[in-house]
């Protein structure tokens, strides 16, 4: 996996070309337009973020009134920075939805990409992937340093290591920017390709979740998407674009293996479509939380995609529902956690299961993660693969598309596996 193409100019349009590293006047003009649009958007949603008041109050006794209510919707980082020692009421979950005591841990099955790339070991590695997708819906793409190394030793593995560590670092620096600079990208619109926000779906959540996020659509061609990403920290676009490329290549490789495991003979056309498919990077920040036992960073949900590739720092927090119990995933720094999304459950006609997962927060350690969601192009309808439907195994899901999902999400649903449930055909 080479990053070399980022050193060569990328055509922006037939009249103006630019590199990601040195924008031309044309891209600067584009940026100004985008900034103006972002500012207009921020102005529209600012009242929602600034003025929402928490009827129950909930700040520290020693803090000002503003701290207790007025700034609640400014997000978790803002509250954490202000040193609250009690959780504002708007974040307090009903008892039945609180994290509870999750002491059991989960060591995810490991899919070793080096074995996947070795013709002598590929079949066995595909067997492991198949079993992991059926039983867990989650697996660990093993030792990505080693895995990526196997690919990039020809190129420059030092750069690739930098790419992975660099993404978590630039994400951390983005969330450390003063709020007004992050707020340029505020949007309550789930369809916005670039969106800074808080909670799960802050426009609809009755109880807020202890997470801030930056969503970046990273569809191909990447350079078109990158121009709309935040321009600070100054290296965010470059670092994230490099990461997005490597990540997408890794997804393609895992997807090809999954199609092989599913026995999809004619997968070439789907793989071609996926090359230009929909991708989105979600940078998540879960600040230290004054009362983590009362809230969650993210509620139980499944992902709307084929596969999610998750990069997390060394702080644990991800929990997976397995055999009716929540289990905490041991973070393996630098590795990818891969999980089956709703699209793959539908496409595999239920053979692979998208898994419920959630995020628990903690008292002392902020956590950063980057989830990359990959799927078919947005306009493409997805349904069960013909090869996986027969008399003995009838079609279990209706076709669906991205627009339907977004409408569902905008309406306020989307937690648990509610969207997937809505696509199920009663057998």
Ligand X SMILES: O=C(O)CCC(=O)C(=O)O
Of 376, 387, 300, 319, give the one whose Cα is nearest residue 343. Answer: 376
Which one of residues 244, 315, 318, 382 is an interface residue with ligand X (CB under 6 A)? Answer: 318
What is the rounded distance in angstroms from the CA atom of residue 152 to the CA atom of residue 144? 11
Task: Give whole-number Cα distances, 92 to 23, 64, 226, 294, in Å.
Answer: 45, 20, 37, 5
Residue 2 class from Cβ within 10 Å (0-12 exposed, 13-18 middle, 19+ buried)?
A: middle
- State the minimum distance, in angstroms, from the CB of residue 26 to ligand X: 33
CA-closest candidate to residue 92, choices 219, 245, 231, 207: 207
In the complex with ligand X, the residue whose CB is nearer, 23 or 197, is: 197
- Give Dmax (Cα) for the chain: 67
State which of residues 305, 310, 340, 385 lies at the interface with ligand X (CB under 6 A).
310
Which of residues 67 and 408 has its CB atom nearest to ligand X in the complex? 408
Residue of the chain from 371, 376, 385, 420 that contacts ligand X (CB under 6 A): 371
Six-digit token pair at 71?
A: 């700034």
CB of 396 to ligand X, least distance (A): 24
Convert residues 272-291 into a mask of x (bound to ligand X by CB under 6 A) and - (unbound).
----------x-x-------
Query: By rule CB under 6 A, what count of residues binds ligand X?
Result: 12
Tell me the C-alpha distance between 363 and 290, whole Å: 6
* Only segment of 77-85, 158-166, 310-318, 388-396 that touches ligand X (CB under 6 A): 310-318
- 99 is a site residue for ligand X (CB under 6 A): no
Q: Which is nearer to ligand X, 142 or 312 (CB)?
A: 312
Q: Which stretch binds ligand X (CB under 6 A): 146-154, 273-281, 311-319, 406-414?
A: 311-319
Q: Is it true that the peptide bond before 202 is cis, omega within 30 degrees of 0?
A: no
The secondary structure of residue 359, as a DSSP letter, is E
The region of 25-33, 47-55, 133-141, 309-317 touching ligand X under the rule CB under 6 A is 309-317
Angle at 256 between CA 251 and CA 261, to 5 degrees: 120
Of 309 and 359, the one with the shorter C-beta distance to ligand X is 359
Point out which span in 19-27, 185-193, 312-320, 411-419 binds ligand X (CB under 6 A).
312-320
Out of 299, 317, 384, 414, the residue judged to bind ligand X by CB under 6 A: 317
Evaluated on CA atoms 255, 257, 261, 262, the torsion sign reads positive
The torsion angle over the Cα atoms of residues 283, 284, 288 and 293, rounded to 10 degrees, is -170
Rule CB under 6 A: is residue 34 a binding residue for ligand X? no
Binding residue for ligand X (CB under 6 A) from 54, 130, 160, 303? 303
Residue 201 binding ligand X, by CB under 6 A: no
335 scored as a contact of ligand X (CB under 6 A):
no
Residue 65's φ and ψ, nearest 5 degrees, are: -60, -40
Question: With binding defined as CB under 6 A, does residue 160 bind ligand X?
Answer: no
Exposure class string for 89-128: b at 16+ Cβ within 10 A, else e? bbbbbeeeeebeeeeeebebbbbbbbbbeeeeeeeebbeb
Could you say whether residue 372 binds ligand X (CB under 6 A)?
no
**244 contributes a contact to ligand X by CB under 6 A:** no
**Nearer to ligand X (CB atom), residue 78 or residue 357:** 357
**Does position 129 bind ligand X by CB under 6 A?**
no
Q: Give residues in contact with ligand X (CB under 6 A).
A: 282, 284, 298, 303, 310, 312, 317-318, 357, 359, 369, 371
């Amino acid at each position: 996996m080479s990053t070399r193409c980022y050193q060569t100019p990328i055509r922006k349009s037939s009249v103006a070309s630019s590199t990601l590293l040195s924008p031309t006047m044309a891209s600067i003009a584009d940026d100004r337009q985008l900034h103006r649009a972002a500012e207009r958007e921020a102005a529209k949603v600012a009242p929602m973020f600034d003025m929402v008041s928490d009827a129950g109050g909930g700040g520290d006794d020693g803090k000002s009134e503003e701290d207790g209510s007025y700034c609640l919707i400014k997000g978790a980082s803002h509250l954490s920075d202000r040193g609250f020692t009690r959780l504002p009421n708007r974040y307090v979950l009903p008892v039945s939805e609180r994290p509870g005591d999750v002491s059991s841990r989960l060591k995810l099955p490991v899919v070793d990409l080096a074995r996947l790339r070795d013709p002598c070991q590929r079949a066995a590695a595909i067997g492991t992937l198949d079993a992991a997708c059926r039983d867990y819906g989650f697996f660990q793409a093993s030792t990505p340093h080693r895995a990526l190394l196997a690919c990039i030793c020809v190129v420059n593995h030092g750069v690739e290591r930098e790419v992975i560590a660099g993404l978590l670092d630039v994400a951390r620096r983005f969330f450390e920017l003063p709020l007004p600079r992050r707020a340029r990208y505020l949007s309550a619109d789930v369809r916005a390709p670039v969106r800074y926000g808080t909670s799960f779906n802050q426009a609809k959540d009755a109880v807020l979740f202890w997470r801030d996020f930056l969503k970046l659509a990273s569809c191909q061609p990447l350079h078109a998407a990158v121009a709309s990403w935040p321009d600070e920290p100054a290296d965010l676009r470059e670092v994230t674009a490099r990461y997005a490329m490597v990540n997408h290549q890794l997804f393609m490789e895992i997807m090809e293996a999954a199609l092989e495991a599913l026995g999809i003979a004619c997968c070439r056309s789907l793989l071609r479509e996926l090359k230009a498919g929909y991708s989105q990077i979600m940078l998540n920040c879960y600040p230290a939380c004054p009362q983590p036992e009362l809230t969650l960073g993210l509620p139980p949900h499944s992902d709307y995609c084929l596969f999610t590739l998750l990069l997390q720092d060394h702080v644990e927090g991800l929990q997976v529902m397995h055999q009716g119990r929540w289990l905490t995933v041991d973070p393996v720094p630098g590795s990818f956690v891969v999980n089956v999304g709703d699209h793959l459950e539908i496409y595999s006609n239920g053979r692979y299961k998208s898994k419920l997962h959630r995020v628990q927060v903690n008292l002392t350690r902020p956590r950063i993660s980057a989830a990359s969601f990959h799927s078919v192009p947005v306009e493409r309808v997805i349904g069960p693969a013909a090869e996986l439907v027969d008399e003995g195994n009838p079609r279990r899901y209706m076709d669906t598309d991205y627009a339907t999902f977004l409408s569902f999400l905008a309406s306020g649903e989307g937690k648990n596996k509610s969207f997937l449930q809505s696509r199920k055909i009663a057998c």
